[in-house]
Amino acid sequence: MSGFDFGVAAGPGSPREIAPQVTWLPHFVATAPLRDAIDRIAAAAPFRHLVVPRGGRMSVAMTNCGTWGWHSDRRGYRYVDVDPETGRPWPAIPPAFLDLAARAAAAGGFPGYVPDACLVNRYAIGAQMGAHRDYDELDMSQPIVSVSIGLPATFLWYGARRTDPPVSVLLEDGDVLVWGGSARAGYHAVRKLKAPRGMAPVTGDAPLRYNLTFRRAR
Ligand code: MD6
Ligand code: FE
């Protein structure tokens, strides 16, 4: 474990390439409107802890908006156009999300981005995502745009081999990560979400992190 540690952004900042074609956009977006939109999405398509093919449940709760939604069960991982939980199509991607995804993709070097899927992840304290790569999309020439909202989390970028030492970035509220091209199939993970120091036990926002990952699924 001797990968480079990018730590925390100093402020709204210039794009930083943490690895070839993996661009970090610190404090790129104001997140209050995004949270409201997430609440509306979750009212139509509730968060759920998906079952993985081996049988366990993910610690991260998920839902989707868009034409396609990412789904997992005993049969495997795939995109579905009807929410298996509700029997209805996924809610549409809000126009503000599409605009954000396109602006971020362009800042990361991928102009003209039009995603058709947006996975919404919700992390409670202790939730984590093991090393994986996003590999269920048809056109791997399209980038992924990932937006972080709420509590900070340590994101690990391994790249081509999950055994390589990872680069580490603390993703904070409003940070965006864009990757594509040679990095599109890279391995990555999110460390177990930590409770903030001095967290008020009763008042204040729920101690959560949300992540939006936009993809072109089909
Ligand atoms: C997360 N993100 O940040 C999990 N995947 O909560 C991902 O797994 C991810 O951020 C593909 C592209 C960008 C990502
Ligand atoms: Fe991923």
Read off the pLDDT of residues 3-50 as tens digits, 9 standing for 90 and up: 778 876 655 678 999 999 999 999 999 999 999 999 999 999 999 999
In this prediction, residue 4 carries a pLDDT of 79
| C-alpha 78, offset from chain centre | 17
Question: How much is the average pLDDT of 157-165?
Answer: 96
> Given a cut of 70, is residue 202 above it in pLDDT?
no
| CA 135 / ligand 2 centre spacing (Å) | 9
Q: Which residue has its alpha carbon closest to ligand 1 atom 1?
A: 211
Please enumerate in sequence order all residues whose Cβ is within 8 A of that of 96, keeping only pairs 6 or more positions apart, or say none: 33, 34, 37
Q: Which residue has its alpha carbon closest to ligand 1 atom 3?
A: 211
Question: Residue 159 and residue 167: Cα distance in Å, rounded?
Answer: 9
In this prediction, residue 214 carries a pLDDT of 98
* CB count in 10 Å sphere of residue 113: 21
Q: Which residue has its alpha carbon closest to ligand 1 atom 12?
A: 144
Ligand sitting nearest the alpha carbon of 128: 1
Question: How much is the average pLDDT of 50-65?
Answer: 98
> Given a cut of 90, is residue 125 above it in pLDDT?
yes
Burial 129-163 (b: 16+ CB within 10 A, else e): beeeebebbeeeebbbbbbbbbbbbbbbbbbeebe
| C-alpha 105, offset from chain centre | 14
| CA 186 / ligand 2 centre spacing (Å) | 9
Is 175 near ligand 1, meaning CB less than 6 Å away? no
Is 62 near ligand 1, meaning CB less than 6 Å away? no
Enumerate domains of the chain plus CATH numbers: 4-215 (2.60.120.590)
In this prediction, residue 1 carries a pLDDT of 45
Is 31 near ligand 1, meaning CB less than 6 Å away? no
**Which residue's entry shows tokens 């009212």?**
43
* Closest CA relative to residue 207, chosen from 128, 146, 155, 149: 149
Question: How much is the average pLDDT of 141-157?
Answer: 98
Is 146 near ligand 1, meaning CB less than 6 Å away? yes
> Given a cut of 70, is residue 88 above it in pLDDT?
yes
Ligand sitting nearest the alpha carbon of 140: 1
**What is the percent of the chain where pLDDT is above 70?**
94
CB 116 within 8 A of CB 216: yes
Residue type for position 93: I
Is 142 near ligand 1, meaning CB less than 6 Å away? no
Question: What is the three-class DSSP state of 154?
Answer: strand
Would residue 97 be called left, alpha or beta, if left means φ above 0 and alpha means ψ between -120 and 50 degrees?
A: alpha
Which of 25, 146, 190 has most ligand 1 atoms within 8 Å of CB, for mutation? 146
- Distances from the Cα of 178 to the Cα of 16, 24, 50, 60, 190, angstroms: 10, 7, 25, 21, 16
In this prediction, residue 205 carries a pLDDT of 72
